[in-house]
């Protein structure tokens, strides 16, 4: 049970941290007139963080233990 709570706390931290990374004040830092391979820097920044947040969410949900209710057992 303690491991599940730690993973739930990590999911919450990931959500808050991920949200803070893509809010406009931080995204505007990377909104420079610079482009890499024809793609603006801010687009690369937002896509990279989006992909990392998705990957971290997949990993955390993979490690999360299942509830007994998830196994189809009825009480």
What does the pLDDT look like over 45-74, one tens digit per residue? 889 999 999 998 888 888 777 776 655 555
Residue 49, in any domain of the structure: yes
The tally of domains found in the chain comes to 1
Query: Could you report how far apart the first and last alpha carbons of the chain are, in Å?
Result: 19
Residues in Cβ contact with 49 at an 8 Å cutoff, skipping those fewer than 6 apart: 18, 21, 22
Residue 43, in any domain of the structure: yes
When the pLDDT of each residue in the chain is averaged and rounded to a whole number, the result is 80
pLDDT of 44 reads 87
Residue 9, in any domain of the structure: yes
Residue 41, in any domain of the structure: yes
Domain carrying residue 12: 2-66
**Four-point Cα dihedral 37, 33, 31, 39, nearest 10:** -20
Q: Which of 49, 59, 51 is nearest to 11 (CA)?
A: 59
Residue 72, in any domain of the structure: no
- The runs of H, that is alpha helices, within the chain are 2-22, 24-27, 41-63
pLDDT of 55 reads 92
Look at the pTM and tell me if it is higher than 0.85: no
pLDDT of 68 reads 64
């Amino acid at each position: 049970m303690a491991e599940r709570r730690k993973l739930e706390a990590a999911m919450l931290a990931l959500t808050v941290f991920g949200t803070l990374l893509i809010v406009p004040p931080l995204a505007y830092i990377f909104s420079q007139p610079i482009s890499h391979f024809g793609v603006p820097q801010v687009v690369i920044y937002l896509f990279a963080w989006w992909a990392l947040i998705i990957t971290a969410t997949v990993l955390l949900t993979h490690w999360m233990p299942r509830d007994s209710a998830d196994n189809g057992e009825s009480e």
